[in-house]
Structure 1
């Protein structure tokens, strides 16, 4: 178990020394070699997807200072966006004063949908299906005895009559405990198996048979508390709450507010080989569950004047199957977190999402989002302008000082620098 996630000065080390520091922090029993380069050979890539012609590299960093439920955690994050990891790490540091980030999650319940068509007596069909619930659940469990053996399996059967704009729909939901898997393959297989029987009971035919990524029975919650002294005082907290409240009421602000949350969440999900598209679809659909798209997080002030931020959303991630097992770098990233269950991983993911969100809202409420973000982005601009080696930091520092983090300015600075050498 990690002795500490408080790795001060990590950014000042070489990449090799950072790997060594992370390895030492988790007790030395960690092989991060697969994170070098793309972490994947061409042969391995060719086995993962079709028509492989190459790879695209995404930087993998580590969020520090994170405490989740009293445990020190080093969190891998794969992202191309500057400032994300630094911002999340900074808020995680601030939260340590009150014990870090507290998380809780529900059971790993996923749902598959079976759409039934050409049903004459739709209410009667619903009743007949529910009467056959035990039979249907047993049929579903028969498709995955291994899952049942480890404590998972079909848990419930729901039948919905959806009164839509274009049609009235009869949809059956199969609820499955998927254990430590993300669960798509398990629930889809079960849905395929039960669909003919459901169609026969309804006296119609089945059409769609697939999971829903609105995993609203698999929800993870996170909470952190920060003292006013950490974020710049009571006025900054008041401004943060006002900004967050706008995000709850206005979908235009909510879209960017939630994007900030997903900056943290998607980075951890990607690093650990999980399905970023599934997680993002679940998050954004959950944000609109009352009919309006809203912020996923809430910001408040407690009786002592501290900032309290909370986040709740579906989190369907797994530790078995998919790229989590087949991608060497993903395996190394999961090992870094030292989790043993998918629920633990989900809680770390949401904790980082909350930290990243608080960092973004604080920046907006205080110095403005561009100051820190563009400072870190300046290195990318310098590289794009052609800077190499020591030139990168020199050009980046110059364009930040000029408050002009732009390609044309970087090119001009670089030309000046080289002419003076």
Structure 2
């Protein structure tokens, strides 16, 4: 791209594709064919996808899979997962099968509270602002009654509004710290609408407050926005069994339990390990969040902030051994929705929720937390026994063979060959070249 483009958003999709192909790619003809090849043949579905975001050219496909045999609170689930990384679905399925005859996964909702804030500057007497807020609070609630009435009918709404003085950090900086219950909706639009109305009411009422000086009346609202840090929208998932049931062909049960415990404890105290440890958890969490049409960027941000809540970054999972019982669990913040947004628009999202038996937001929190815990169990189990590469690289084998241009027959031969050989890029390349040279 050598020059800026004017009015790109006003072009038709075909015109956008032509411009991108001609101005931004080495082979315009092939680029155009590729973009068109990934269109959905159902015109209505394609139109739906085109309207999700702006300047759409085509669709970017990710695999949609399921991990079966998850026993969660006595109910069996096949969990939909959307992810491109090899071995994630296989690892989750393996963990689900491992715990199936050991009581499965137990979960508990610890809270569902979400947060939003009005950030503002007030350069005046803090005591006056405190007195003003006491009279303002009921007016704030009244100002959003039209927004909250439907949510309140369903049992949700605004939980609390608190005035916070943070002027020791930034001169004049204060905030309205607000908490919400949004039930089965993720609630971003609801929360932001309430906050923006709060901000308007705050400014209007401040101008009329007799006790304020002229400077104090001119409150400056900086921004009104929900927070993706939701430490009180929290779910716990857990597995446990007698140590003897941890016996595997790779390692005796007692040795495995102790090594597993040490591995988790290392992730509790060592941030370099904790980041990768938690990334493995998010392999499971993000895959289900994406499959169910939720905002995985918001979940990631909130989860990693929670992992640092003690002042240093740490593991999201915990393990212990007491009285011969091995217990492994996770506590994780998850602000999810099962109504609104893509949940009612994207055909595969609707199917994913159908596969999950049409869960409420709380039920989805439980399922997603379990997916994260299962993924972490599988990863740590591999790390302390056979090593992570043995299983991961075998799952990655087909990707490597596709990149090397192997035929279907060659792939079949090499999949069989590497059942008993170590998979590396060099070893796969050598084995493929050997087969091809024999022809």
TM-score (norm 2): 0.82
Q: In the alignment, does 2:259 pair up with 1:239?
A: yes
- Deviation for aligned residue 1:400: 6.2
Mind listing any 5+ residue stretches in structure 1 that lack a counterpart? 1-36
Taking a change above 3 Å as real, the CA distance of residues 387 and 163 of structure 1, as seen in their structure-2 partners, is: farther
The residue correspondences of 1:5-404 to structure 2 (distance < 5 A) are: 41-162=45-166, 167=171, 169-199=173-203, 200-201=205-206, 203=217, 204-228=219-243, 229-230=245-246, 232=248, 233-303=253-323, 305-398=324-417, 401-404=420-423
Does the Cα contact within 8 Å between 1:130 and 1:158 map onto a contact in 2? no
Does the Cα contact within 8 Å between 2:113 and 2:232 map onto a contact in 1? yes
1:213-251 per-position Cα deviation (integer Å, ceiling 9, x unaligned): 001121111111144333531111111111111111111
Q: Which residue of 2 aligns with 1:410?
A: 428
- Deviation for aligned residue 1:79: 0.9
1:237-269 per-position Cα deviation (integer Å, ceiling 9, x unaligned): 111111111111111111011101101000000
Q: Which moved more, 1:282-291 or 1:195-204?
A: 195-204
- Deviation for aligned residue 1:42: 2.7
Taking a change above 3 Å as real, the CA distance of residues 127 and 294 of structure 1, as seen in their structure-2 partners, is: farther
Taking a change above 3 Å as real, the CA distance of residues 168 and 90 of structure 1, as seen in their structure-2 partners, is: farther
Report the Cα distance in structure 2 between the residues aligned to 1:414 and 1:42, rounded to whole angstroms.
Answer: 39
SS at match of 1:80: coil
Report the Cα distance in structure 1 between the residues aligned to 2:401 and 2:349, rounded to whole angstroms.
Answer: 30
Q: Which residue of 1 aligns with 2:8?
A: none
Report the Cα distance in structure 2 between the residues aligned to 1:132 and 1:154, rounded to whole angstroms.
Answer: 15
- Deviation for aligned residue 1:197: 2.0
- Deviation for aligned residue 1:166: 5.3
- Deviation for aligned residue 1:364: 1.0
Taking a change above 3 Å as real, the CA distance of residues 77 and 118 of structure 1, as seen in their structure-2 partners, is: same
**Higher Cα Rg: structure 1 or 2?**
2
- Deviation for aligned residue 1:329: 0.6
- Deviation for aligned residue 1:107: 4.6
SS at match of 1:142: helix
Taking a change above 3 Å as real, the CA distance of residues 168 and 259 of structure 1, as seen in their structure-2 partners, is: farther
Taking a change above 3 Å as real, the CA distance of residues 130 and 251 of structure 1, as seen in their structure-2 partners, is: farther
Does the Cα contact within 8 Å between 2:69 and 2:96 map onto a contact in 1? yes
SS at match of 2:51: helix
- Deviation for aligned residue 1:212: 0.3
SS at match of 2:274: helix
Q: Which moved more, 1:155-164 or 1:376-385?
A: 155-164
Q: Which moved more, 1:42-51 or 1:277-286?
A: 42-51
Q: Which moved more, 1:331-340 or 1:117-126?
A: 117-126
SS at match of 2:144: helix
Taking a change above 3 Å as real, the CA distance of residues 231 and 256 of structure 1, as seen in their structure-2 partners, is: farther
> How many corresponding residue pairs?
383
Q: Which moved more, 1:287-296 or 1:268-277?
A: 287-296
Does the Cα contact within 8 Å between 1:75 and 1:336 map onto a contact in 2? yes
Mind listing any 5+ residue stretches in structure 2 that lack a counterpart? 1-39, 207-215
Taking a change above 3 Å as real, the CA distance of residues 102 and 183 of structure 1, as seen in their structure-2 partners, is: same
- Deviation for aligned residue 1:301: 1.2
Report the Cα distance in structure 1 between the residues aligned to 2:380 and 2:259, rounded to whole angstroms.
Answer: 9
Taking a change above 3 Å as real, the CA distance of residues 68 and 163 of structure 1, as seen in their structure-2 partners, is: farther
Does the Cα contact within 8 Å between 1:46 and 1:52 map onto a contact in 2? yes
- Deviation for aligned residue 1:367: 1.1
SS at match of 1:144: helix
Taking a change above 3 Å as real, the CA distance of residues 166 and 172 of structure 1, as seen in their structure-2 partners, is: closer
TM-score (norm 1): 0.85
- Deviation for aligned residue 1:123: 5.0
Q: Which moved more, 1:144-153 or 1:110-119?
A: 144-153
Report the Cα distance in structure 1 between the residues aligned to 2:100 and 2:126, rounded to whole angstroms.
Answer: 55
- Deviation for aligned residue 1:320: 1.0
